[in-house]
Structure 1
Amino acid sequence: MTDVTPFLWFDNDAEEALTYYTQLIPDSEIVSLAHYPDGVPGMSGKVMHGHFRLRGRDYYAMDAGPQFPFTEAISLYVSCADQTEVDRYWDALTDGGEEQPCGWLKDRWGLSWQIIPDRLIQLIRDPDPDRSHRAVQAMLAMKKIDIGAVEAAANDS
């Protein structure tokens, strides 16, 4: 075996999604696209095999119809250094998509993402169980994570 790589099945707009993702996320690129040839019913010109990188990590994608839509069982996790990054990715990925609880969202193509500030993980792993509990309770009440509010809740004794 040489590698294990996520492969994403899009309904019919993989190229648009890959372009969006690679423009949004630094150190990202579309490596290659192979399109269905003419004569494939309903798929001519759509992506048969797409190779792209997000932050240097490889992914593959294809257009293959609506038979298997994305679910929350698989998500892409974006680890954010600060609230500015959280806001940037959240705003871009929810544009045309759907906000969900606890830092999760679905983008306009139905792919689930988790937009999580690194500080949140530190707070929920805090060795003080009361601080950790307060941080978790604050997070559970949010859609987009507001790390300042989570920090304030953790510190509120």
Structure 2
Amino acid sequence: MATMQKITPNLWFDNVAEEAVNYYVSIFKNSSIGRKSFYTKEGFEFHQKPVGTPMTIEFQIEGQEFVALNAGPEFQFTEAVSFIVSCESQEEIDYYWNKLSEGGPVESQQCGWLKDKFGVSWQIIPTILTEIMSGNDSEQMSKTMNAMFQMKKLDIEKLKNG
């Protein structure tokens, strides 16, 4: 990764950072794995990782840089932070929904939210939803909102028809 973006999400994983990075890179076509750093004997009393275990892994998905930290169980992901995947078609929604929910257990909520097997929350959202919800047709917005609250995985046709 040649240039560093100003703000980079750092994802704390419970000893599965490398597995998670490989998983995400396999799902998103425009993605890559960058530099890795490794644990050394220094700080062993804190990290408890064998020398040579990956510590951080830089990766990129659709132009967004991330860092995965291979840490421990002290911190867990919550729905308070999620990643939005904007989709142009129902096929794209279905693809990301199915791929990111593989290998559960997956806790899905409503309105296009899901939690993947690593506990990371994703929102799989059609771009048409933003267009409808930022428009001037309050009746269509109400119909769309009502339809959306009935769904887990979003359905573009049902959102359009309310």
Distance in 2, matches of 1:133 and 1:24, equals 33
CA apart distance, 1:42: 4.4
Look up the SS of the partner of 1:114 in the other structure.
strand
Distance in 1, matches of 2:109 and 2:41, equals 39
Match of 1:36 in 2: 39
Residue type of the alignment partner of 2:56: H
Give the fraction of aligned pairs with identical amino acids, expressed as a percent.
42
1:31–1:53 Cα contact (<8 Å) kept = yes
In the TM superposition, 1:6-155 aligns within 5 A as: 6-37=9-40, 40=44, 42-44=48-50, 45-95=52-102, 96=104, 97-153=106-162
Distance in 2, matches of 1:60 and 1:53, equals 9
CA apart distance, 1:64: 1.2
Look up the SS of the partner of 1:122 in the other structure.
helix
Structure 1 residue runs of 4+, over 6 Å off?
A: none
Two-structure CA RMSD over aligned residues (Å): 1.8
Structure 2's unaligned 5+ residue stretches are none
- Cα displacement string for residues 48-75 of structure 1 (whole angstroms, at most 9, x for unaligned residues): 1110000121111111111110001111
- Cα displacement string for residues 96-132 of structure 1 (whole angstroms, at most 9, x for unaligned residues): 1222211000000000001001011112223110110
2:14–2:72 Cα contact (<8 Å) kept = yes
> TM (normalized to structure 2)?
0.87
2:8–2:67 Cα contact (<8 Å) kept = yes
Instruction: Count residues in correspondence.
Output: 153
| Range 118-127 or range 86-95, more displaced | 118-127
Look up the SS of the partner of 2:30 in the other structure.
coil
